């Protein structure tokens, strides 16, 4: 309840600051629309916003699930083999040196203008934080537990499954919280490069037609959905950790 109250207060302060900037600067509404105008546009265009938001969230959720699975499996594989870790880890770091904007046109060329390229874009942008956070947690020393397990004759696979993975779940949870914030970025970038649906496409369409209020409305919807996704992932991670 306290978290919800804090979120509402923060949202109110943000809206008040937004309105204050509009009033102080006196900018025309086609440059910076006020919160009231954006809210009115959101209500009038609710069907259009909902349709495109559904497309974007579908891309985000599928990319989040696939990226999490791939990242978790990769982290376990890297943690299980020192040789593989030394060979592959530099490649993971190098992959983050490539700007995601540079990958978007290539992915659109390979996977088309549909959901595929946006899902892959979201997957790529969240893969590294999930893999890195989970891998760092898997590599933490647990000398007492591991030593006891080996004395009892446990194999490396059993040590990994029964000791290292459960102990590393907080690291995976941290990676998932980051992924929940980053995943929409990948989907929106993919929609900017080439798409016919989605909130990113709607922003470009509104910008081209000088409908700044609609562009801000799409941006607000995206921000709200991202906050809700982050909260849902955080709740799921806390529930998992409490049960473990």
What's the pLDDT tens digit per position in 154-202?
A: 666 666 776 777 878 888 888 888 888 888 888 888 888 877 788 888 9
Using the CB atoms, write b or e for 39-57: b if 16+ within 10 Å.
bebbeebeebbeebbebbb
pTM of the model as a whole: 0.82
Closest CA to 62 of 163, 186, 164: 186
Does residue 143 surpass a pLDDT of 60? no
Q: What pLDDT, on the 0 to 100 scale, is given for residue 8?
A: 78
Closest CA to 88 of 80, 191, 66: 80
Q: What pLDDT, on the 0 to 100 scale, is given for residue 113?
A: 79
Q: To which residue do tokens 């991202």 refer?
A: 226
pLDDT band at residue 46 under the 50/70/90 scheme: confident
Does residue 54 surpass a pLDDT of 90? yes
Q: Please say whether the beta carbons of 138 and 85 come within 8 A.
A: no
Higher pLDDT, 217 or 109: 217
Q: What pLDDT, on the 0 to 100 scale, is given for residue 145?
A: 60
Does residue 1 surpass a pLDDT of 60? no
pLDDT band at residue 222 under the 50/70/90 scheme: very high
Q: To which residue do tokens 């809700």 refer?
A: 228
Q: What pLDDT, on the 0 to 100 scale, is given for residue 4?
A: 66
**For 146-165, what is each residue's pLDDT tens digit?**
666 666 666 666 667 767 77
Domains within the chain, CATH numbers bracketed: 34-243 (1.10.3720.10)
CA 124/CA 128 separation, integer angstroms: 7
Write down the mean pLDDT value for the chain.
Answer: 81
Q: What pLDDT, on the 0 to 100 scale, is given for residue 3?
A: 59
Describe the crossing of helices 115-138 and 165-193 by its angle, rounded to 10 degrees: 150
Q: Please say whether the beta carbons of 166 and 242 come within 8 A.
A: no
């Amino acid at each position: 309840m306290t978290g919800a109250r804090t979120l509402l207060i923060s949202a109110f302060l943000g809206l008040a600051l937004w309105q204050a900037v509009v009033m102080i600067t006196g900018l025309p509404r086609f440059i910076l629309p006020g919160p009231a105008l954006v809210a009115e546009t959101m209500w009038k265009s609710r069907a259009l916003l909902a349709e495109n938001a559904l497309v974007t969230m579908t891309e985000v959720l599928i990319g989040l699930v696939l990226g999490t699975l791939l990242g978790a499996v990769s982290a376990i594989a890297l943690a299980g083999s020192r040789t593989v870790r030394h060979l592959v880890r530099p490649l993971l770091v190098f992959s983050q040196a490539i700007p995601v904007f540079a990958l978007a046109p290539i992915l659109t060329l390979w996977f088309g203008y549909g959901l595929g390229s946006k899902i892959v874009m979201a997957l790529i942008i969240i893969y590294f934080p999930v893999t890195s956070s989970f891998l760092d947690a898997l590599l933490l020393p647990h000398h007492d537990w591991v030593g006891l397990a080996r004395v009892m004759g446990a194999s490396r696979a059993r040590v990994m499954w029964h000791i290292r993975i459960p102990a590393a779940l907080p690291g995976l949870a941290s990676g998932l919280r980051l992924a929940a914030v980053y995943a929409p970025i990948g989907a929106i970038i993919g929609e900017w490069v080439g798409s016919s649906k989605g909130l990113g496409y709607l922003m470009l369409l509104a910008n081209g037609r000088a409908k700044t209020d609609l562009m801000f409305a799409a941006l607000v919807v995206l921000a709200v959905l991202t906050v809700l996704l982050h909260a849902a992932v955080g709740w799921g991670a806390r529930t998992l950790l409490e049960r473990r």
